[in-house]
Amino acid sequence: MTDAIDVRALHKRYGRRTALHALDLQVRPGSVFGLIGPNGAGKTTTLRTLLDVIRPSSGTVRVLGEDPRRGGPDLRRRIGYVPGELHLEGRASGHRLLSFYAEVSGMTGSKDAVLRTARELGDRLGVDLDRPVRTLSKGNKQKVGLIQAFMHRPELLILDEPTSGLDPLVQREFLAMVREVREAGQTVLLSSHVLSEIQQAADEVAVLAAGRIVAEGDVASLRLGSIRRVRVRVDDADAAEVSAALTALAGVEGVEAPGRGLLTATIEGAIDPFVKAISRFEVHELTVEEPDLEESVLRLYGDNREGDDREGGR
């Protein structure tokens, strides 16, 4: 079966800076593929290339079997896209705007059906589509952006940081929408710098750092979730002893004692030895969270954040 997205040796330069280095990316039809990476990794550049918003310096790109440079409106109609930076400033209401999109893009399926879906999605996400879009908050504008991408049930959804600005409940609804389109056989490529979101949504993941894919596979195999930051508060009098106990544990690093019985550390791998180690003390507070993606990527895959083109004149 033809891949929904097939990118080979994609190179993108902005002047002297190389944003993408020989990127290869294949997305199977009917799957949810997550592209994650710290800010500036090249996610937006990759996605824009798929939509022919920008053009590759070299390499080949196929989207739904077509070259985006030649696919034109027919190809665009088969894709739903949420850009990373959405600007909705007009006087028109959300509903009018969506109606306009439905018309200009000559969507497959009846316009009524598309707009009915838009209304349903508006209700689910909790956005008032009768208000002028320019009066909507950032999060509500983002919801309108999501609706325009989903409403015509495109074969492929390309979503650039789709949940930015959305509160946690709406993020959950969004993840449910992604699961539903996947069940309907549609393909989703989404980018994020939030690991937990990708872990919940994606079948497969590629980790992008400094314009290169540094890891690829199913979410579990990437181990990105195996690094956690912990914060524990014990009696002040116990802090030194707890600190020593934690420092002695394999997989625990960066133990710090910022004061008043508070200790912070990073754990890689199993959390059980940590739990056992603190259990003999009185614990007043305990937080376990994932570290930011940049930190995880750097720890697991090393620092290759150089911004300059070190490959010379391609």
Residues that bind ligand ATP (CB under 6 A): 14, 17, 19, 37, 39-45, 84, 193, 307
Q: Report d(CA 4, CA 66) in Å as an integer.
A: 9
Q: Which of 68, 75, 152 is nearest to 107 (CA)?
A: 152
Q: How far is the CB of 37 from ligand ATP (least distance, A)?
A: 5
* 176/65 Cα distance (integer angstroms): 28
Q: Which residue, 32 or 293, is less far from ligand ATP as judged by CB?
A: 293
H helix runs in 220-270, sequence order:
239-247
Cβ proximity to ligand ATP, 211 vs 261, nearer residue: 211
Residue 140 or 164 with smaller CB distance to ligand ATP: 164
CB 266 within 8 A of CB 197: no
Helices (H), 151-205: 168-183, 195-201
59: left (phi over 0), alpha (psi -120 to 50) or beta: left
Closest separation between CB of residue 237 and ligand ATP, Å? 44
- From residue 275, how far is each of 3, 163, 279 by CA, in Å? 44, 33, 6
Q: 95 vs 193, which CB is nearer to ligand ATP?
A: 193
Which residue, 118 or 206, is less far from ligand ATP as judged by CB? 206
Q: What angle do CA 160, 107, 35 make, to 5 degrees?
A: 15
How far apart are CB 110 and ligand ATP at their closest, in Å? Answer: 36
Q: How far is the CB of 287 from ligand ATP (least distance, A)?
A: 26
Residues 216, 37: Cα–Cα separation, whole Å: 12
Nearer to ligand ATP, 11 or 193 (CB): 193
CB of 58 to ligand ATP, least distance (A): 16
Contact present, 252 and 278 (Cβ < 8 Å): no
| Residue 35 token pair | 């592209």
CB of 283 to ligand ATP, least distance (A): 36
Of 84 and 225, the one with the shorter C-beta distance to ligand ATP is 84
Nearer to ligand ATP, 94 or 291 (CB): 291
- Please give the Cα distance from 237 to 33 (Å, whole number): 49
Least distance to ligand ATP, CB of residue 43, Å: 3
* Smallest separation, CB 191 to ligand ATP (Å): 7
How many Cβ atoms sit within 10 Å of the Cβ of residue 117? 18
Q: What is the DSSP letter of 92?
A: S
For residues 288 and 278, what is the distance between their CA atoms, to the nearest angstrom? 13
CB atoms within 10 A of CB 216: 17
